[in-house]
Amino acid sequence: MARIGIIIGSTRPGRNGEAVAQWVFERAQQRTSAEYELIDLADFALPHLDEALPAAMGQYAHDHTKNWAQTIARFDGYILVTPEYNHSTSGALKNAIDFLGNEWHNKVAGFVGYGVYGGVRAIEHLRLVFSQLQVATVSAAATFNLMTDFENMSTFRPAAYHEASVAALFDQVESWSEALSDVRDSGEEQAAA
Ligand SMILES: Cc1cc2nc3c(=O)[nH]c(=O)nc-3n(C[C@H](O)[C@H](O)[C@H](O)COP(=O)(O)O)c2cc1C
């Protein structure tokens, strides 16, 4: 069964991202077709990238990197819950992605965005970033509008139609995570040879 990590992409005090991710996680937990876990970026307290060697070498010097790497390595796919900051994702999430290499490879990502236009520009930027990391990104996404899915832009009250969007997102991330398991397995065999 695929293991999917739902990553809270904002570390900002008072962030909206936590409520959005919690709502997604509650729905994910109702599924029996995959295992879901919530990953809060704030728990990892990552500094600005401070590893001397390129992430592709996988030789991490710092405990915070090893901890983050071990967490990301455990999953087959991810759902990134991203805010939109200046038409992109958060610096914290981009920094966390940059810390690692092999842990992302041949995995799958889907996106949940939120912002004035549903965070769609942040999502599209993340697709480009993940293309370099050999992560396949699914097209289904849930995009929450700050004006209509939140009260006073701060209390999360999603419209009913998002239930279907997030179900489609789960379906796609699960099926692609399973489909890519052969690629991940053959990579491990080659590394061991
Ligand atoms: C630095 C910064 C830049 C922002 N830029 C945008 C933007 O370009 N587009 C947008 O839709 N919302 C933008 N916003 C509003 C965020 O979508 C909104 O504050 C959201 O709640 C941020 O996520 P968070 O509360 O989980 O940190 C910006 C917010 C911040 C703090």
DSSP string of 31-80?
A: -SSEEEEEEEGGGG---S---SS-GGG----SHHHHHHHHHHHT-SEEEE
> Which residue, by CA, sits nearest to atom 4 of ligand 1?
85
> Which residue, by CA, sits nearest to atom 27 of ligand 1?
15
Percent of the chain with pLDDT over 70: 98
Distance 23 CA to ligand 1 centre (A): 19
Instruction: Quote the tokens at residue 132.
Output: 């370099």
Q: What is the pTM of this model?
A: 0.97
Please state the length of the chain: 193
Pocket of ligand 1 (CB under 6 A): 10, 12, 15-17, 83-87, 115-117, 146
Residue with tokens 């915070």: 64
User: 109-152, pLDDT tens digit by residue?
Assistant: 999 999 999 999 999 999 999 999 999 999 999 999 999 999 99
Distance 84 CA to ligand 1 centre (A): 5
Domain boundaries, given as residue ranges, for the chain: 2-192
User: 44-80, pLDDT tens digit by residue?
Assistant: 999 999 999 999 999 999 999 999 999 999 999 999 9
> Which residue, by CA, sits nearest to atom 25 of ligand 1?
15
Does 82 have pLDDT greater than 90?
Answer: yes
Atom from ligand 1 closest to the CA of residue 88: 8
Residue 171 neighbours by CB distance under 10 Å: 16
- Indicate the Cα dihedral angle 13, 4, 172, 153, nearest 10°: -10
Q: Are 166 and 142 in contact (CB under 8 A)?
A: yes
pLDDT tier, 13 (very low <50, low <70, confident <90, very high otherwise): very high
Q: What is the pLDDT of residue 190?
A: 72
**Domain 2-192 has what CATH class?**
alpha beta
Residue 23 neighbours by CB distance under 10 Å: 20
